[in-house]
Amino acid sequence: MPLYKQIDAYKDAIDAIRPFEGEMLRQLKAYYRIGLTYTSNALEGNSLTEVETKVLLEDDRPFMDFIAERVLESEKEVMRLLHIPH
Q: In tens digits, what is the pLDDT along the chain, a chain of 86 residues? A: 899 999 999 999 998 988 888 998 889 888 899 999 999 989 988 888 898 888 888 887 777 787 778 778 888 888 888 877 65
What three-state secondary structure class fits 49? coil
The Cβ of residue 84 has, within 10 Å, a number of other Cβ atoms equal to: 9
pLDDT at 85: 67
Give the model's pLDDT for residue 76. Answer: 83
pLDDT of residue 39: 92
Q: What is the pLDDT of residue 6?
A: 95
**Is the CB of residue 53 less than 8 Å from the CB of residue 44?**
no
* Strand, coil or helix: 31: helix
**What single DSSP character describes residue 60?**
-
